[in-house]
Chains A and B, each alone.
Chain A
Amino acid sequence: MARLKLFVPLVAFLVLAGFLFKGLSLDPKALPSALVGKPFPAFLVSELHTDRMISQRDITGEPALINVWATWCYSCRVEHPYLIDLARAGIKIIGLNYKDSPGPARQWLEDLGDPYQLVLSDINGTVGLDLGVYGAPETYVVDRHGVVQHRHVGVVDERVWQRDLASYFADVVVPSTSESTAVEGIL
């Protein structure tokens, strides 16, 4: 028994080392949304293109991506082509134009293409605030009942899609873009 006691510090060290080792692979910036598992917050804002008022009822019915974007957000420009690919494959994407002006936002979509079925014009950021948005781009998965299932902070690309988002849209197949980019790389 006294001999076994000698191993207590070793065991304590191993437990601590185990936790610290796990910590190495954790992303300190990963911040789960406080809204996961809760309904998308109620809102009443104008739609960017039509100017008619829309509410949370307009975005429920089928699973959708809610993409927070703005013209002042450089990463949104990087993300945009992939959103267009997703929209082409049949994913319902709702835009949340966060703290932006409608004029430049419309122009942006005209120039770069419009992957959104609806765009919430959140000029003063109140919808973003209720959603716990702290930057752009951010992307939320909302199921057909309007419940937030997942939040991704940062650019959505193919890797992120496959890893975190695709499982929520099991019936939609998004063609891989990696082959075409590989060919472009060779050329």
Chain B
Amino acid sequence: MNRRCIVLSLLLMLPLPAWPVIETYDFSDTSLETRYHALSEELRCPKCQNQNIADSDAPISRDLRALLHTQLEQGANDAEILGFMVARYGDFVRYRPAVDENTVILWYGPGIVAVIGLLALGLHLRKQSSVTAAPMTPEEREALGRQLAKNTPTPIDTEKSP
């Protein structure tokens, strides 16, 4: 087997999909670069559903990253950029959608449920601690003693049993 064949077959085994997104953008200011990374992690790739545009190698993510870079360089603020994206791709495009009538239950629902749960737990515990057992009357004590004596097996009984 010649050398070229081996090299070619080894090349075929290269794990292509494992390569991360490699792109370089030049920023005029390092603060823009920080915002670029923050925004590209918050924006969701419309095509691939469960990746942000920073991780995704889909063509649309590439376009959106390029657009993000352009907008940042043009001096748009975060709200403007997110508004631009949402106007085109809907709330879906943000991993942290804005609070409005559609999303308010998602934002505050879990907190409300947790508060209800804690209140219920508190009420329950308070009710339990306020219930104290009333002391037994002498008659009850006697009846209990009789009952216990009746049910206690005698030593002979235990020996007899198999």
A binding-site residues for B, Cβ under 8 Å: 28-29, 31-35, 99, 125, 129-132, 134-135
Contact = CB atoms under 8 A, between A and B. Distances in A.
Nearest to A125: B63
A6 B99 CA distance: 36
Nearest to B86: A34
Question: Number of contact residues on B: which range applies?
Answer: 10 to 19
B88 A132 contact: yes
B112 interface: no
A32 B90 contact: yes
A72 to B, nearest CB: 10
A79 to B, nearest CB: 18
Q: Interface residues of A: mostly helix, strand, loop or mixed?
A: loop
A33 B87 CA distance: 10
Contacts of A99: 59
Interface in B50-87: 58-60, 63, 67, 86-87
Given A130-B88, A132-B89, A134-B89, A31 B63 contact: no
A34 B60 contact: no
A140 to B, nearest CB: 13
Contacts of A35: 88
B87 A34 contact: yes
B47 A34 contact: no
Contacts of B91: 34
A134 B87 contact: no
10 contacts: A28-B49, A34-B86, A34-B88, A129-B88, A130-B88, A132-B89, A134-B58, A134-B89, A135-B47, A135-B60
Q: Interface residues of B: mostly helix, strand, loop or mixed?
A: helix
Nearest to A131: B88
A125 B88 CA distance: 13
B67 A31 contact: no
A134 B46 contact: yes
A146 B31 CA distance: 41
Interface string B15-49: 00000000000000000000000000000001101
Contacts of B89: 34, 132, 134
Contacts of A31: 46, 90, 92
Given A125-B63, A129-B63, A129-B67, A134 B90 contact: no
A100 to B, nearest CB: 12
A28 B86 CA distance: 19
Contact of B90 (A28, A34, A125, A131): A34
Contacts of A32: 90
A157 B59 CA distance: 25
Contact of A132 (B59, B67, B90): B90
